[in-house]
Amino acid sequence: MPTLPPARLKNRAEFLAARRGRRLNGPFFFIEALERADDAPARIGLTVTRKVGNSVERNRIRRRLREALRVSCRADMANGFDYVVVARRDVLTLPFATLTGELSRRLSKVRPKASPADKPPSGTE
Query: pLDDT tens digits for 4-51?
Result: 667 889 999 999 999 998 998 989 999 999 998 888 888 999 999 999
State the pLDDT at residue 125.
47
CB-based burial, 18-48: b 16+ in 10 Å, e otherwise:
beebeebeeebbbbbbbeeeeeeebbbbbbb
The model carries a pTM of: 0.81
Query: pLDDT tens digits for 61-99?
Result: 999 999 998 888 777 888 889 999 999 999 999 999 999
C-alpha 107/C-alpha 74 separation (Å) is 9
